[in-house]
Amino acid sequence: MIEVALVKRQGDFLLEVDFCAPADGVLGLVGPSGAGKSTLFSCLAGHTRPDAGRIAVQGRVLYDSAAGINLPPARRGIGVIFQDGLLFPHLSVRRNLRYGAPRPDPALEAQLVEVLALGPLLSRRPGALSGGERQRVAIGRALMARPDLLLLDEPLSALDGGRRDEVMRLLEELRATTSTPMIYISHAAEEIRRLADSVVTLRGGRVVADCAAGPSPCGGRRVAGAVRWV
Ligand SMILES: Nc1ncnc2c1ncn2[C@@H]1O[C@H](COP(=O)(O)OP(=O)(O)OP(=O)(O)O)[C@@H](O)[C@H]1O
């Protein structure tokens, strides 16, 4: 279960959300520009400290203002992937991948190289990769840490049509083959339709309960009405 209840003020903007979602599959996070998606992501990843609230993933508390808990990003077990697949430019693909792992993990590395088709790229540096290839490496590096949760912030938006489709197919394959839950921000309805198992819609810093609810994964304790099971 992914449990999120938090308040964060930024200037005139107030993010105030309270929802839960199953910790498997893909949760789509959608909403118009300025709705607070990136702010919520940043709070989940630990880059922004909420004013109050609680965040837990699989029962593990990452942030709890009442209990004085605020784990730093590196201890949250969360992998983050941004639009432009930030990689270390001076390291080879192989070393970028290994950088993600807290300790050597040859079995996982081999699996990811296979699934992400990185074999021919391993000795290249990021400057010699296409956008889609860079994004595949970024996904691999995040997964090398065996995260409890993967956050993807518009991972396809910097890619052209062909590359976008290539990485989308890969994400579909990952959803089917790994047990790592993902939260996926996108403006593209098509991406959400293909990838997301459930959806949270943000508007003006709040979760909008605009869809019929299925059974609540947390016993109706939270605003299950805000989560649409697609
Ligand atoms: N440091 C800041 N200080 C004041 N306001 C901020 C700050 N950072 C973001 N905001 C405001 O918070 C609101 C939410 O921004 P956020 O980036 O989370 O939205 P978003 O849904 O991710 O938008 P987009 O889809 O355009 O990326 C916006 O109104 C933004 O102007």
113-133 confidence digits (pLDDT tens): 988 889 999 999 999 998 888
Q: Given 3-state DSSP classes, what are the helix, strand and coil percentages for the chain, each rounded to the nearest 5?
A: 35, 25, 40
154 located within any domain: no
- Distance, CA 187 to ligand 1 centroid (Å)? 15
Q: Measured on CA atoms in the order 38, 36, 49, 180, is the torsion positive or negative?
A: negative
Q: Give domain status of residue 222, yes or no.
A: no
Question: Which residues are CB-neighbours of 132 under 8 A, at least 6 positions away?
Answer: 159, 162, 163, 164, 166, 167
- Say how far apart CA 137 and CA 53 lie, in whole Å: 34
- Identify the pLDDT of residue 83: 79
Q: Is residue 121 part of a domain?
A: yes
Do 101 and 145 touch, CB atoms closer than 8 A? yes
Of the residues 8, 9, 37, which should be mutated to test ligand 1's pocket, given the most ligand atoms within 8 Å of the CB? 37
Residue 94: helix, strand or coil by DSSP? helix
Number of domains in the chain: 1
Q: Is there a domain that residue 61 lies in? A: no
Residue 150 predicted with pLDDT over 80:
yes
Task: Please tell me the pTM assigned to this model.
Answer: 0.84
Residue 142, both tokens: 């995040």
Pick the residue with more confidence: 91 or 21?
Answer: 91
Q: Is residue 188 part of a domain?
A: no
What is the extent of the structural domain holding 126? 87-146
